[in-house]
Amino acid sequence: MAAISVIPGDGIGPEVVESALGLVDAFGLGLDVDVLDHVGADRYRREGVALGEADLARVAASGAVLLGAIGRPDLEHTGYVRDVLLELRYAFDLYANYRPVRLWHDRLSPLRDPARRALDCVIVRENTEGLYSGIGGNLRASSDHEVAVDADVNTRHGVSRILDFAFATARREVCLVDKANAVRAGGRLWQECWRRAAERHPGAATRHLYVDAAAMKLVTEPERFDVIVASNSHGDILSDLAAALAGGIGLAPSASLNPESGFGMFEPVHGSAPDIAGRGVANPFACLLTAALLLRHLGHDTEAAATEAAVAGSIAAGRTTPDLGGTLSTREATRAVLAAL
Ligand code: NAI
Ligand code: MG
């Protein structure tokens, strides 16, 4: 059984995954790695399927999966990205999407006020239901009277378990973000499950914000947040906002977890970035910080912390790719981190 299965994917996916595999290799932990190079856009074009049963079996036989990015402009409206990413989330019931946001260096923040700079929070995004459930359709399509409906699916089971995960993750406070004042049925269910979850976990402080206010407060007082828990769509949007506050999408890692089975999928928050793919300038730090989450998940805490410190050190020394103001290529930035280890 391989310790890690790897899906490099498309665009800058293989470029940043190469960095992460170099990192894992450098630790000499003897982790067995199973790379599924063929899962990607070319195969989807040829066969109409990118991730087959045999691939899922290989992923299932590993301890965790590292994914680069999925997506190519010519397949944008085919359902390709959905097929691969949702297939993985559903196959392993990866309901908890864990997205830490940390300001690695003052210089990277658009916030210049020193008091605002202690940004270090985690966004816990429900990953298997909500507005992205795919239930819905178009009535009288392409006519002047077309009706489009997407169902916002919220189950008591799904909401309760993501709230429990958020409380288990919290260091000091859990902040529920919803729009219960406007989205009433789902809002009612989230609010009721929230009260019960808070009773089950009396240790952490609680706070509730509507999503619009949360977006504002993430900008005006980001240092106040610890764990933010939100539905699939709200978590998606807030995590890009938070990532931008902390220096950009080139630094944002993520894990999709099933806390009961212990299986996880680890991927940078960014996509395949077709605008810069193939130029060797993709920032590998998001994927290296993702590898750190993966190493911690596998019990290698020391290596994870060392990776995070080495990334912070490279940023402080200005040894970064152009998106963070440096001049290094993907490989040079990776070498800077490995050298700092
Ligand atoms: P994107 O994240 O690929 O790119 C957004 C912007 O950020 C671009 O300007 C890109 O150059 C920049 N960027 C992203 N990663 C970077 C990195 N490591 N270093 C430096 N700059 C970086 O999002 P976009 O353009 O909306 O989507 C592109 C493709 O990726 C689409 O096919 C989309 O469906 C797919 N996608 C896949 C995801 C995944 O595999 N989990 C997540 C998001 C999008
Ligand atoms: Mg997103």
Confirm or reject: Cβ of 19 under 6 Å from ligand 1. Answer: no
287: which 2 tokens?
Answer: 């994927």
Q: Is the CB of 269 under 6 A from ligand 1?
A: no
Q: Whose CA is nearest to atom 33 of ligand 1?
A: 71
Q: What is the pLDDT of residue 82?
A: 87
> Tell me, what's the pLDDT at 76?
86
Q: Is 70 in the pocket of ligand 1 (CB under 6 A)?
A: yes
Take atom 5 of ligand 1 and give the residue whose Cα is closest. 273
pLDDT of residue 77: 83
* Beta-ladder partners of 178: 210
In whole angstroms, give the CA distance from residue 332 to residue 313: 14
Judged by DSSP in three states, 115 sits in helix
Indicate if ligand 1 lies below 6 Å from the C-beta of 275: yes
* pLDDT given for residue 115 in this prediction: 67
Backbone angles phi, psi at 107, to 5 degrees: -60, -25
Parallel, antiparallel or unpaired: strands 96-102 and 120-126: antiparallel
Domains by residue range for the chain, with CATH: 1-94+256-341 (3.40.718.10), 110-245 (3.40.718.10)
CA 197 to ligand 1 centroid distance, Å: 35
Asked if 153 contacts 129 with a C-beta cutoff of 8 angstroms, the reply is: yes
Closest listed ligand to the CA of 281: 1
Residue from 34, 83, 120, 240 carrying the catalytic annotation: 240
Distance in Å, CA 273 to ligand 1 centroid: 4
Indicate whether this model's pTM tops 0.95.
Answer: no
Which residue out of 44, 67, 82, 272 has the highest number of ligand 1 atoms within 8 Å of its CB and is therefore the one to mutate?
272
Quick one: CA torsion of 276, 74, 56, 100, rounded to 10 degrees? 40
Both tokens of 150, joined, read 């997407």
Give the pLDDT confidence score for residue 319 in this predicted structure. Answer: 97
Cα(153)–Cα(58) distance, integer angstroms: 31
Mapping DSSP to helix (H, G, I), strand (E, B) and coil, where does residue 180 land?
coil
**Which ligand sits closest to the CA of 39?**
1
For residue 328 and ligand 1, the question of a CB distance below 6 A is answered with: no
Residue 212 annotated among the catalytic residues of the structure: yes
Q: What is the pLDDT of residue 116?
A: 64
Q: Is 65 helix (H, G, I), strand (E, B) or coil?
A: strand
Residues in the chain: 341
Do the beta carbons of residue 286 and residue 252 sit within 8 Å? yes
Give the contacts of 65 (CB within 8 A, at least 6 positions apart).
4, 5, 6, 7, 59, 88, 264, 265, 266
Is the CB of 123 within 6 Å of ligand 1? no
Q: What is the pLDDT along the chain (341 residues), one digit of tens a residue?
A: 789 999 999 999 999 999 999 999 999 999 999 999 999 999 999 999 999 999 999 999 999 999 999 999 999 889 899 889 989 999 999 999 999 999 898 888 777 677 667 889 999 999 999 999 999 999 999 999 999 999 999 999 999 999 999 999 999 999 999 999 889 899 999 999 999 999 999 999 999 999 999 999 999 899 999 999 999 999 999 999 999 989 899 999 999 999 999 999 999 999 999 999 999 999 999 999 999 999 999 999 999 999 999 999 999 999 999 999 999 999 999 999 999 99
ipTM: 0.93
CA-75 nearest atom, ligand 1: 32
Residue whose token pair is 């498309």? 10
DSSP state letter for 204: S
Ligand number nearest CA of 237 is 2
Q: Angle at Cα 282 formed by Cα 77 and Cα 69, nearest 5°?
A: 35
Q: Which of 132, 144, 301, 323 is catalytic?
A: 132
Q: Max Cα separation, the chain?
A: 62
Is 132 an annotated catalytic residue? Answer: yes
Is 179 one of the annotated active-site residues of the chain?
yes
Q: DSSP string covering 284-324, please?
A: -HHHHHHHHHHHHHTT-HHHHHHHHHHHHHHHHTT---GGG
What's the CA gap between 286 and 291, in Å, rounded?
9
